Amino acid sequence: MLKTLDNALHLLRYFTRERPQWGVRELAREMNISHPVVYRMLATFERHGFLRQDEQTKKYELGITFLEYGAILRDHLSITQIIYPVMKRLAETTGESVILTWLDGMEGICLEMAESTQRVKYAMSVGSRTLLYAGASNKVIMAYLPPHVQEAIIAKGLKPKTDRTILDKDELLRDLARIRSEGWAYSVGEYTENVFGIAVPLFAYDKRVVASLTIAGPDYRMPADAVPAALRALKEAQQEIQTLLQRIQ
């Protein structure tokens, strides 16, 4: 393990949605290291386009090299290549957005999205991270994780995303057990206000849950009695993807 590189990559973690810009000394104070060290890291990242320095403010922010590597990554991710056509078709038949959420550690990450063709639709950015304890797309993954991982996620703390987010540990575990027994999840406004989600899990060859497939949109377009039809289409897509995944692994 390279300490210099390790420190540098750790530094990047400070560039977040909430705090996308940092001055040299500012960041050095935050990280409790000397500012020349931070400066050298920032300057080296900048040479490679991973960071860019604002000409006026002199502050540093993420650079477009990340977009570039993101594009390469998505290109060769055979998984999304295979799954996307199915997602697209599902988005067209249901008229709602379809989202592929991947399991990464104790979080979810939006790997791919097929947008609804309607004007009013749910959209989220590919690459954005989500917490696993709220919303159908996330809970359906969490429901199939081993108990000690579920415990670990809960132990990290349940913060409300909306006022419908389940914050009680026992209630959440009961909900997850129900989802696991039924094989799918449905939620409204748990992760994002006024947004419904219907989600099913996707499994790897070894039966471990690796992702979820979700139909999402504005809640008024999915009353409870419309769910069964959408679920049927979703389960068909799930089947299809599952057999495709078998083939490549």
Question: Is position 10 an interface residue for DNA (rule: CB under 7 A)?
Answer: no
User: Residue 58 or 207: which CB sits closer to DNA?
Assistant: 58
Query: Residue 23 CB, nearest distance to its own copies (Å)?
Result: 16
Query: Residue 74 CB, nearest distance to its own copies (Å)?
Result: 6
Q: What are phi and psi of 195, to 5 degrees?
A: -120, 130
User: Residue 26 or 107: which CB sits closer to DNA?
Assistant: 26
Helix (H) or strand (E) holding 231: helix 227-248
Query: Residue 38 CB, nearest distance to DNA (Å)?
Result: 8
H helices, E strands: number in the chain: 9, 9
Q: Which stretch binds DNA (CB under 7 A): 19-27, 72-80, 95-103, 184-192?
A: 19-27
Give the binding-site size for DNA (rule: CB under 7 A).
24
Measured CA to CA in angstroms, residue 201 lies from 100, 131, 176, 182, 207 at distances of: 10, 16, 12, 11, 11
Alpha-helix runs per DSSP H in 48-156: 65-76, 78-94, 136-142, 147-155
Q: How far apart are alpha carbons 180 and 112 in whole angstroms?
A: 24
User: Residue 110 or 179: which CB sits closer to its own copies?
Assistant: 110
How remote is the C-alpha of 118 from its chain's centroid?
Answer: 23
Residue identified by tokens 């040299």 is 24
User: Which residues, 58 to 117, sit near DNA by CB under 7 A?
Assistant: 58-59
* Interacting partner of 66 out of DNA, its own copies, none (Cβ under 5 to 8 A depending on kind): its own copies
User: Residue 117 or 194: which CB sits closer to its own copies?
Assistant: 117
Q: How far apart are alpha carbons 18 and 129 in whole angstroms?
A: 13
Query: Residue 181 CB, nearest distance to its own copies (Å)?
Result: 30
Give 226's DSSP letter.
Answer: G
Helix (H) or strand (E) holding 129: strand 129-131
Question: Is position 158 an interface residue for DNA (rule: CB under 7 A)?
Answer: no
- 162, two tokens: 């909306």
In the complex, the residues that contact its own copies under the rule CB under 8 A are 1-2, 4-6, 8-10, 12, 15-17, 20, 40-41, 43-45, 47-50, 61-64, 66-76, 102, 104, 109-111, 117, 125-129
Give 95's DSSP letter.
Answer: -
CB burial of residue 243 (10 Å; 0-12, 13-18, 19+)? exposed
* Interacting partner of 49 out of DNA, its own copies, none (Cβ under 5 to 8 A depending on kind): its own copies
User: Which residues, 24 to 53, sit near DNA by CB under 7 A?
Assistant: 24-26, 33-37, 39-43, 53
User: Residue 4 or 117: which CB sits closer to DNA?
Assistant: 4
Site residues for DNA per CB under 7 A: 1-7, 23-26, 33-37, 39-43, 53, 58-59
